[in-house]
Amino acid sequence: MSRPLSDQERRKQISIRGIVGDRNVATPRDYYFALAHTVRDHLVGRWIRTQQYYYEKDPKRIYYLSLEFYMGRTLQNTMINLGLQNACDEAIYQLGLDMEELEEIEEDAGLGNGGLGRLAACFLDSMATLGLAAYGYGIRYEYGIFNQKIRDGWQVEEADDWLRHGNPWEKARPEYMLPVHFYGRVEHAATGAKWVDTQVVLALPYDTPVPGYLNNTVNTMRLWSARAPNDFNLRDFNVGDYIQAVLDRNLAENISRVLYPNDNFFEGKELRLKQEYFVVAATLQDIIRRFKASKFGSTDSVGIVFDSFPDQVAIQLNDTHPAMAIPELMRIFVDIEKLPWNKAWDITKRTFAYTNHTVLPEALERWPVDLVEKLLPRHLQIIYEINQRHLDHIAFLFPNDVDRLQRMSLIEEGGTKRINMAHLCIVGSHAVNGVAKIHSEIVKTQVFEDFAALEPEKFQNKTNGITPRRWLLLCNPGLAELIAEKIGEDYVRDLSQLTKLHGCVDDDLFIREVAKVKQENKVKFALYLEKEYKVKINPSSMFDVHVKRIHEYKRQLMNCLHIITMYNRIRKDPAKLFVPRTVIIGGKAAPGYHMAKMIIKLINAVAQVVNNDPIVGSKLKVIFLENYRVSLAEKVIPATDLSEQISTAGTEASGTGNMKFMLNGALTIGTMDGANVEMAEEAGEENLFIFGMRVEDVTELDREGYNAQKYYDQLPELKEAVDQIKSGFFSPEEPELFSDVVNMLFHHDRFKVFADYEAYVRCQEKVSELYLNSKAWTKMVIRNIAAAGKFSSDRTIKEYARDIWHVEPSNLKIPPPNEPRDTH
Catalytically active residues, by annotation? 357, 548-549, 554, 656, 660
Q: What's 11's DSSP letter?
A: H
Q: How far is residue 730's CA from residue 608's CA, in Å, rounded to a whole number?
A: 8
Give residue 626's Cα distance to chain centre: 18
Cβ neighbours for 737, distance < 8 A, ≥ 6 positions apart: 601, 605, 728, 731
Helices then strands, each counted (H, E), the chain: 33, 27
Answer positive or negative: Cα dihedral of 507, 510, 516, 517: negative
Longest dimension (CA), the chain: 90
- Length of the chain, please? 824
Answer positive or negative: Cα dihedral of 528, 534, 538, 541: negative
CB 183 within 8 A of CB 174: no
Q: How far is residue 290's CA from residue 267's CA, in Å, rounded to a whole number?
A: 34
List Cα–Cα distances, 792 to 66, 79, 215, 246, in angstroms.
20, 20, 18, 49
CB 119 within 8 A of CB 258: no
CB 673 within 8 A of CB 645: yes
Total Cβ atoms within 10 A of residue 6:
10
Q: How far is residue 253's CA from residue 564's CA, in Å, rounded to a whole number?
A: 48
Per-residue DSSP letters for 386-407? HHHHHHHHHHHHSTT-HHHHHH
Per-residue DSSP letters for 406-448? HHH-SEE-SSS-EEEHHHHHHHT-SEEEESSHHHHHHIIIIIT
593 CB burial (10 A radius; 0-12, 13-18, 19+): buried
| Segments in 573-715 forming alpha helices (H) | 594-611, 630-636, 657-663, 676-683, 695-704, 708-714
Answer positive or negative: Cα dihedral of 423, 429, 430, 435: negative
Burial per residue of 646-671, b for 16 or more beta-carbon CB atoms within 10 angstroms, e otherwise: bbbbbbbbbbbbbbbbbbbbbbbbbb
Q: How far is residue 797's CA from residue 355's CA, in Å, rounded to a whole number?
A: 13
Q: What's 572's DSSP letter?
A: H
Phi (first) and psi of residue 58, to 5 degrees? 50, 55
Q: What's 804's DSSP letter?
A: I
